[in-house]
Amino acid sequence: MTAHLLTPRHNDILELAREQGRVLVEDLARHFNVTPQTIRRDLNELCEQRLLARTHGGALMPSGTENMEYEARRKIAAEQKHAIGKAAAGLIPDKASLFVNIGTTTEAVSDALLGHDGLLVITNNINVANRMRIYPSFEVIIASGVVRGSDGGIVGEAAVDFIRQFKVDFAVIGVSAIDEDGALYDFDFREVKVAQAIIANARHVILVSDSTKFERSAPVRIGHLSQVGTFITDRCPLPSVRTLCRDAGVRLLETSVR
């Protein structure tokens, strides 16, 4: 099958995937009033053309070497991210200092922190700074550097140098992909440099990531799961990652939202 022979349903599936970031077989079967087997064939055909990337129970917009659009990423696993955000916020006491880096899951953490008091927040995420700046009990410091138009992330060497001036209580970081060996990956090498500086300059690192990140790939290595203190996810489907967390002394918290 070639791209110009896509059926109307294929085009509608692609449009839903672009809007939501992820589509599920059961949801699509109900939406189009067809059998799950029919949808699985549709997804397989779209994945053969590399228009989608197959996952357990559905498909994602393909990751390749570029991240998907910000609004689409915000919609992926939104309920799970909300629960992860609440769990992470529960580990951070009032009057703490923290880094918050780029990502839609870290933004969910920033939302959950709005009930806290006396936080010092240092971030390279314009969206986080904009949410938290209006609360008088917070001091918000934003990194300098190149602003990415796609998502408001601040990246580059200037941001790295800025981050290195601080030593904070907590770092809240997100990633784009987690490998079964515990390697952490992202898409933009400039963003990765900032994330590495954040990890190196925090006393306790909290990694927040929904379980779709186990299904994705990205080209630039940030570091390894053993470098974090706490890993919060909705669920961890990989036994190798569970074993790694246990052996490395990483606290694994699963919110179990599906």
Q: Are residues 160 and 196 in the same domain?
A: yes
Assess contact for 149 and 185: CB atoms under 8 A: no
CA atoms of 145 and 77, how far apart (whole Å): 30
Residue 4's pLDDT band, with cuts at 50, 70 and 90, is very low
Q: Which domain holds residue 50?
A: 3-62
Reported as a single tens digit per residue, the pLDDT across 225-255 is 999 999 999 999 999 999 999 999 999 999 9
The total number of structural domains that make up the chain: 2
Q: Are residues 152 and 91 in the same domain?
A: yes
Beta strands 120-123; 139-142: pairing state: parallel
Residue 67 lies in a domain: no
Q: Which residue has the higher pLDDT, 63 or 56?
A: 56
Q: How confident is the model over 191-212, as a mean pLDDT?
A: 96
Q: What length is written for the chain?
A: 258
Among residues 62, 90, 106, the one where a domain terminates is: 62
Return the bridge partners of 177, or none. 185
% pLDDT > 90, the chain: 67
Q: Are residues 200 and 125 in the same domain?
A: yes
Instruction: Provide the CATH number for the domain around residue 174.
Output: 3.40.50.1360
Q: Are residues 34 and 95 in the same domain?
A: no
**Closest by Cα among 255, 257, 250 to 231:** 250
Instruction: Provide the CATH number for the domain around residue 26.
Output: 1.10.10.10
| Model confidence, pTM | 0.76
pLDDT value for 182: 97
Return the bridge partners of 202, or none. 168
pLDDT value for 73: 63
Q: Are residues 199 and 149 in the same domain?
A: yes
Q: Are residues 48 and 159 in the same domain?
A: no
Q: Are residues 52 and 175 in the same domain?
A: no
The 3-class secondary structure across 18-74, one letter per residue, is: HHHCEEEHHHHHHHHCCCHHHHHHHHHHHHHCCCCEEECCEEECCCCCCCCCHHHHH
Give the CA radius of gyration of the chain. 19
